[in-house]
Amino acid sequence: MPYTAQIEDAKKKFEAVLEEQLKRVEKMKAEKEFIDYDKLDQIIIGVVGGDGIGPAITEQAERILKFLLKDEVDAGKVAFKEITGCTIEHRAEVGKALPDDVLDELKQCHVILKGPTTTPRQGDPWPNIESANVAMRKELDLFANVRPVKVPAEGIDWTFYRENTEGGYAVGSKGVNVTDDLAIDFVVQTHEGTERIARAAFEYAKKAGKTRVTCVTKANVIKTTDGNFLSVCKEVAKDYPGIELDDWYIDIMTAKLVDPKRRTQFQVLVLPNLYGDILTDEAAEFQGGVGTAGSANIGKRYAMFEAIHGSAPRMVQEGRDKYADPCSIIRAAVMLLEHIGYVDKAKALEKALDECMYTEKKLVITGRDTGATSAEFADYVMSKLK
C-alpha cells in the first residue's frame, strides 16, 4: 500500500485530536452554573488593548466605563485591571496565541473588555500562530458569541447566538497535510456544545419576549456535524413551548438577509461557529459596518466583550490611530455593563451612543484628521451621560 507512513502519521494526529476533544466533552459535562455577579464582593473588569488601533480605542471605552462606574469603583465594588501583554509582538516572541502571563492575568478577572488583536496568516511577517480571539474563547470557554444588530428604521432587530468554541474553529490550527497533495481539516460538534448554545439562545428569547429562534446550518450537505447541531436545537426547543424554531440553510439565509420583506421576520439566530462568523459580518453591514457592532463572548465563569473589527495596523503606520472609530468597542462596553447587572447604565450608554452616531451626529469619525479623534468622540458620548 503506498502512503502507509503518511496514513499512519495522519492517524496519530487524528487520534490526538480525538483524545483532546473527548476530554473537552468530559469537562463540559462537569460544568457548573453561570457565575452570579450579585454575589461577588468585587467584580474585576480586565482591559486588554490588543494591538494596532486596539489600545487607542479601548482606552476610550475604558474611560467611559470608569466614568459610569465611578461610585462602584470608589466603593470597591468594581475594579479595573489593565492587561498589556496581548500584543502581536509579545505573542510572536513567545510563539503563543495567548502568552501564559496574559492568560494568568485574564483568569484573575470576571469580565474582559478587549480591543482587536492581529490574526497572523500565511505569508505575514509574524509566525502563523492561532488567533488570540479564538484562543481566548477556547481557554476561557466562552461558548456563546452574542452579536446584536439593529436598524430600527428598517425593522431589523436580530440577535445572533454564534457557537464560539467548536465547528471548524475547535482544531482550526491542527489540520493535517497528509501528503503534498492531500490536506484535511476537522470540524467538531458535540452534544453538550450545541445544547448549551441552543439553550442560551432560547433563554435569551424567552427573557426578551421573542417568539422565534432560527437555526442556521447546511445540514443537507454537512450531514453529521450540522445535522446533529440542528437536531439538538430541535430537542432544546421542546422546552420552550411559546417559542417557534425554524431552520434555514446558510446559503439561502445569506440571501434572505438582503430581502427587505423576509429579513424583518428573523429575531434570534443560532448557528455553528463559521456560519456565525460570516453571517454576523453581513448583518453588521446593514447597521453601518463591522465598526458599529459589539460582540459578547459569554461563558459560565468568564465573559469577554470586544470590537468585531480588525486591528487596522495600517492606520497606526500612518499615524492615524487617534482617529480610529471607537464605536464598536463602546458598543461592547454597553454589553459588558448589561451582562454584569448594570442594566440602567447600559441603557443610558446605548442611548447616548445612538444619539452621537445616528441622530445628532455633532462629531463624525472619518479615520483621518478630517474627523474627530476617538478621545473627542468619547467626550461627546460622555457629555450625553451627565
State the Cα–Cα distance between residues 35 and 51, nearest whole angstrom.
29
Q: Which is nearer to Mg ion, 69 or 284 (CB)?
A: 284
State the Cα–Cα distance between residues 227 and 210, nearest whole angstrom.
25
Q: Which is nearer to ligand IPM, 133 or 287 (CB)?
A: 133
Q: Say which entry of ligand IPM, Mg ion, none residue 297 contacts (CB below 5 to 8 A, set by partner kind).
A: none
Q: Which is nearer to Mg ion, 64 or 274 (CB)?
A: 274
State the Cα–Cα distance between residues 190 and 196, nearest whole angstrom.
10
- Give the nearest distance from C-beta 134 to Mg ion in angstroms: 10
Determine the interface stretch with Mg ion among 32-40, 171-179, 276-284, 293-301 (rule: CB under 5 A).
276-284
Does position 277 bind Mg ion by CB under 5 A?
A: yes
Q: At what angle do helices 54-68 and 327-339 cross, to 10 degrees?
A: 40
- Residues at the interface with ligand IPM (CB under 6 A): 119, 131, 133-134, 277, 308
Q: Which is nearer to Mg ion, 51 or 277 (CB)?
A: 277
CB 60 within 8 A of CB 329: yes
Q: In angstroms, what CA-CA distances link 73 with 39, 59, 81, 84, 225?
A: 17, 17, 12, 21, 45
Cell of 158: 436580530
Give residues 359-378 in contact with Mg ion (rule: CB under 5 A): none
Does position 163 bind Mg ion by CB under 5 A?
A: no
- Nearest residue by C-beta to Mg ion? 277
Q: Which is nearer to ligand IPM, 133 or 190 (CB)?
A: 133
Q: Which is nearer to ligand IPM, 226 or 306 (CB)?
A: 306
Q: Say which entry of ligand IPM, Mg ion, none residue 374 contacts (CB below 5 to 8 A, set by partner kind).
A: none
State the Cα–Cα distance between residues 157 and 289, nearest whole angstrom.
15
Q: Say which entry of Mg ion, ligand IPM, none residue 134 contacts (CB below 5 to 8 A, set by partner kind).
A: ligand IPM
State the Cα–Cα distance between residues 344 and 207, nearest whole angstrom.
17
Determine the interface stretch with Mg ion among 38-46, 272-280, 319-327, 366-374 (rule: CB under 5 A).
272-280
Cell of 84: 498589556
Q: Say which entry of ligand IPM, Mg ion, none residue 133 contacts (CB below 5 to 8 A, set by partner kind).
A: ligand IPM
Q: Say which entry of ligand IPM, Mg ion, none residue 118 contacts (CB below 5 to 8 A, set by partner kind).
A: none
Q: Which helix (H) or strand (E) holds 330?
A: helix 327-339
Total residues interacting with Mg ion, rule: CB under 5 A: 1
Q: Which is nearer to ligand IPM, 60 or 131 (CB)?
A: 131
- Give the nearest distance from C-beta 281 to Mg ion in angstroms: 5
Instruction: Report residue 161: phi and psi, to 5°.
Output: -110, 90
Cell of 266: 428573523
Q: At what angle do helices 374-383 and 343-354 cross, to 10 degrees?
A: 120
State the Cα–Cα distance between residues 69 and 83, nearest whole angstrom.
19
Determine the interface stretch with Mg ion among 123-131, 134-142, 270-278, 374-382 (rule: CB under 5 A).
270-278
- Give the nearest distance from C-beta 82 to Mg ion in angstroms: 26
- Give the nearest distance from C-beta 308 to ligand IPM in angstroms: 6
- Nearest residue by C-beta to ligand IPM? 131
State the Cα–Cα distance between residues 328 and 357, nearest whole angstrom.
11
> Which of 145, 152, 146 is CA-nearest to residue 286?
152
Q: Say which entry of Mg ion, ligand IPM, none residue 131 contacts (CB below 5 to 8 A, set by partner kind).
A: ligand IPM
Q: Which is nearer to ligand IPM, 63 or 309 (CB)?
A: 309
218 class by beta-carbon count within 10 Å (0-12 exposed, 13-18 middle, 19+ buried):
buried
**Residue written as cell 509582538?**
89
Binding residues (CB under 5 A) for Mg ion: these are 277
